[in-house]
Chain A
Amino acid sequence: MLVLIAGGGSVGRHMASRLAASGHQIRIIDNDLKVVETRSKQAVFGVTWVFGDACDVGVLDSAGAREADVFTSVTGDDEDNLVVSLLAKQEFGVPRVIARVNNPRNEWLFTEMWGVDIAVSTPQLLTSLVEEAVSVGALVRLLSLERGRANLVEVTLTTDSPAVGTRISESHLPREAAVVAVIRAGHVIVPSPDLVLLDGDETIVLLTGSTEDEDALRIALVGEEH
């Protein structure tokens, strides 16, 4: 796959080397000529550097945006990331546009209104991970997919959970929810509809639909009290 990265800072470079190692073709766009010249000399297989302003349609065009499978904008500037995402989607129809949120205050802007399919906020991600670590018996949102139309959530079951002791197929999950994994005693189980849920199970659920569905899921897995 061809992956374009706007922003050759540490995040961009790290992504580039990891993705190139997995066999993807990477182009990094950066507007600092010195950085581009220096990095181009330290050639990494599969990674090409492009000098220019990623907010310039001409630069994106010559970098191959029209052929790109994925576009990620990971500069340290939220305004730039939003504008670059909009251009990637609007001018080049890139199927998957991923943008980095630097300041959590700006996260609400990172939606399809700016061409963003997936927003990755480091502080938000850290918060989710911490919440996941400390919260038992609550619904924790892990990842937002398809522009917020689907969410991956996690619930660690307690004895209060109405689902404990029942089969997944009988646990009154909303239709829009699918249990995709159960982590039990450190082992990942790919669940069948007949799997009986137990106290302490970490359930990973893919949820599409509205906030009502999220509420219904919470009632089914956490219980009414919470």
Chain B
Amino acid sequence: MDAVIVGCGRVGSTLAQQLLATGHRVCVVDRKADSFRRLGDNYTGKTVVGVGFDREVLEAAGVTETTAVAAVTSGDNSNILIARVAREQFGAQRVVARIYDPQRAAVYGRLGISTVASVAWTVGRIKGDLFPDAGHSLWSDPSETIDIHELRTPAAIAGTSIAEFEKQHQVRVVSLSRNGATTLADGSLLLQQDDNIHLAIVRGTLLNLDAVGKGH
């Protein structure tokens, strides 16, 4: 399975439809079967009824190491349970949990789990985190020369200074978010795994960024 979405509320169902539309194989999990009506009549993905942190349920949904998992139920605690079980039991590398409470998001960030803390941003951010290679630009200048991308720092480049990273990949790092705090990027700062960075790149160098994002 390409993507397993746990929680079929507004966010989960919208995410499922969008991912399905872009050609991904999708499975949606929810405690209640009647939640699946939100997916609409045209939904062609899979559905599984059950509790998302139940090992058997995630197995039935088809979670493997390569599956992208979104935990988007209405409960913060459920989401964090689901995210940890998917990552620790199934080895899923791309796991995102939606958390309403920003304090909690910071605590769980330390467990290495990517969290999305704002409802308004949820759909866009999860899409970006799950499929960073989709080449989706957050902003482009009017001449369409420079794009701003968001990147979650992969393990392979952790320990590299921002200045070095900029030189290697011909990019400018604009800002860096770590543990819930965001600052303007400083060249001497060392990148850490799971940092969220915003970077500006010349459109032609997009392939370079893809290699970084896909690598790990």
Contacts and interface: CB of A to CB of B under 8 A. Distances in A.
Interface of A: 55-58, 77, 79-80, 82-83, 87, 90-91, 105-106, 108-109, 113
B107 A87 contact: yes
B73 to A, nearest CB: 10
Given A79-B75, A80-B77, A105-B54, A113 B103 contact: no
11 contacts: A55-B77, A55-B104, A57-B107, A79-B53, A83-B80, A87-B107, A105-B51, A106-B53, A109-B53, A109-B85, A113-B88
Contact of A55 (B76, B85, B88): B76
B77 A109 contact: no
B78 interface: yes
Contacts, number: 33
A79 B81 contact: yes
Which of B55, B77, B85 has the most chain A CB atoms inside 10 A of its CB? B77
Provide the main secondary structure of the chain B interface: helix
Provide the main secondary structure of the chain A interface: helix
A73 to B, nearest CB: 12
A153 B174 CA distance: 60
A76 to B, nearest CB: 13
A113 B88 CA distance: 10
B77 A82 contact: yes
Given A79-B75, A105-B54, A113-B88, A58 B103 contact: yes
A26 B81 CA distance: 29
Interface string B30-47: 000000000000000000
A77 B85 CA distance: 18
B107 A82 contact: no
